[in-house]
């Protein structure tokens, strides 16, 4: 473990590099960021407004675009709360109790991070596709899962599953079970303990996880692309809609839709910074949890 606090005062004296080396390094890092992050981000907005503000907003009046935005919001509205509840339940079980198969559960939670989104989509086709395991039964009962909204929701649930749990588990583990034990000794019931002790202790971590989960749910492309069927105005989420518009030479509309996703990413970053700042202020142990995979990766 690094001991940041003790090395900090000594830092100035040990810095022996000449000034120009430091500036060179800082310059290199900044130009790299500019080249690979800022310019592409700016390019999205430049392209989106290429034909003026009117054309930009016209892109959102297209019924297919509206349907894509609605579907994206709907998918997030289902996936995020469910994963929030699942994530909390899983972290609670893992951090506060000992049981057989605990390590297996932790590994399973990480599974969606480990597999490629294409696989996440294909497994649902294997399960619910017409020739899949449950396909014939579903067809018999006229239930459409793949190439319809339920399939998209399922694929999104799968890929966003780890986000809340991943944020909450380390914090709960660090906090231990003493507070809960005290609450139980004082006569609190299970639910009371959870709502009055456990949840308030981790609320910022939960929020942090929810923000990341939401960003990924709205931005997911790979898994959703596999199960969507690409029916215009019906099963296209916003990221899929961007691809379709681009392929139709409709660049302004494509980048206008892409700019919505970019704004979402920026809002996510702002919220994330706010939550980090709040946690630093309210809790002594900050949320310094290694985090795999970007929200819009």
Partner 1 sequence: MTEHHGAGWVQRFGIGLLIVASVAAAAWVVLSDHRENTGSIHLLNVSYDPTRELYQEFNPAFAKYWKEKTGQDVIIEQSHGGAGKQARAVIDGLEADVVTLALAYDIDEIASRGLLPADWQRRLPQNSAPYTSTIVFLVRKGNPRGIRDWDDLVRPGVEVITPNPKTSGGARWNYLAAWAYALKKELGDLKRLDDPAAADDVKKAQEKARQFVTELYKHVPVLDSGARGSTNTFVQRGIGDVLLAWENEAFLAVRELGPDTFDIVVPSISILAQPPVTVVDKVVEKHGTRQAAEEYLKYLYSPEGQKIAAKHYYRPVDSQYADPADLERFPKVQQVRIDEVFGGWQEAQKTHFNEGGLFDKIYQPGS
Please report, as ranges, the residues that interact with partner 1 according to CB under 8 A.
74, 77-78, 80-82, 84-85, 125, 128-132, 135, 139, 142, 144, 146-150, 153, 192, 195-196, 199-200, 203, 229-234, 244, 246-249
Residue (82 or 271) nearer to partner 1, CB: 82
- Smallest separation (angstroms) from partner 1 to the CB of 135: 6
d(CA 216, CA 17): 41
128: enclosing H helix or E strand: helix 117-128
d(CA 134, CA 143): 11
d(CA 51, CA 155): 36
Phi, psi (deg, nearest 5) at residue 113: -70, -30
Q: Are 213 and 77 in contact (CB under 8 A)?
A: no
Residue (157 or 264) nearer to partner 1, CB: 157
- Smallest separation (angstroms) from partner 1 to the CB of 108: 21
- Smallest separation (angstroms) from partner 1 to the CB of 179: 13
| Residue 49 CB partners (closer than 8 Å, separation 6+) | 56
Residue (230 or 280) nearer to partner 1, CB: 230
Residue positions counted in the chain: 297
Sign of CA dihedral 247, 212, 233, 149: positive
Residue (142 or 288) nearer to partner 1, CB: 142
- Smallest separation (angstroms) from partner 1 to the CB of 74: 6
- Smallest separation (angstroms) from partner 1 to the CB of 153: 6
Residue (246 or 291) nearer to partner 1, CB: 246
d(CA 119, CA 193): 39
Residue (170 or 233) nearer to partner 1, CB: 233
| Residue 171 CB partners (closer than 8 Å, separation 6+) | 201, 202, 205, 285, 287, 289
Question: Of 241, 259, 230, whose CA–CA distance to 121 is shortest?
Answer: 230
d(CA 175, CA 171): 6
Residue (22 or 230) nearer to partner 1, CB: 230
What is the token pair recorded at 163? 């986000």
- Smallest separation (angstroms) from partner 1 to the CB of 230: 5
Question: Tokens 């503000």 — which residue?
Answer: 53
- Smallest separation (angstroms) from partner 1 to the CB of 266: 25
């Amino acid at each position: 473990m690094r001991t940041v606090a003790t090395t900090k005062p000594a830092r100035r004296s040990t810095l022996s590099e000449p000034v120009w080396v430091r500036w060179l390094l800082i310059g290199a890092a900044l130009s790299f960021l500019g080249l690979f992050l800022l310019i592409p981000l700016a390019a999205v907005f430049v392209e989106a407004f290429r034909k003026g503000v009117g054309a930009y907003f016209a892109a959102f009046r297209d019924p297919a675009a509206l349907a894509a935005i609605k579907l994206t919001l709907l998918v997030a509205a289902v996936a995020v709360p469910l994963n929030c509840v699942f994530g909390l339940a899983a972290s609670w079980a893992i951090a506060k109790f000992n049981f057989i198969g605990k390590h297996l559960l932790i590994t399973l939670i990480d599974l969606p991070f480990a597999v490629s989104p294409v696989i996440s989509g294909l497994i649902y086709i294997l399960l619910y596709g017409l020739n899949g395991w449950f396909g014939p039964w579903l067809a018999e009962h006229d239930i459409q899962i793949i190439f319809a909204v339920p399939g998209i929701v399922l694929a999104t649930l799968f890929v966003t599953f780890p986000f809340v749990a991943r944020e909450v588990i380390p914090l709960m583990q660090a906090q231990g079970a003493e507070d809960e034990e005290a609450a139980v000794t004082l006569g609190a019931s299970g639910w009371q303990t959870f709502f009055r002790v456990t949840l308030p202790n981790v609320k910022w971590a939960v929020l942090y996880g929810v923000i990341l989960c939401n960003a990924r749910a709205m931005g997911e492309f790979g898994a959703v692309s596999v199960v969507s069927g690409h029916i215009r105005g019906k099963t296209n989420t916003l990221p899929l809609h961007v691809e379709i518009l681009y392929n139709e030479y409709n660049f302004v509309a494509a980048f206008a839709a892409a700019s919505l996703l970019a704004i979402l990413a920026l809002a996510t970053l702002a919220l994330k910074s706010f939550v980090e700042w709040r946690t630093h202020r309210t809790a002594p142990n900050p949320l310094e949890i290694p985090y795999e995979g970007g929200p819009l990766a």
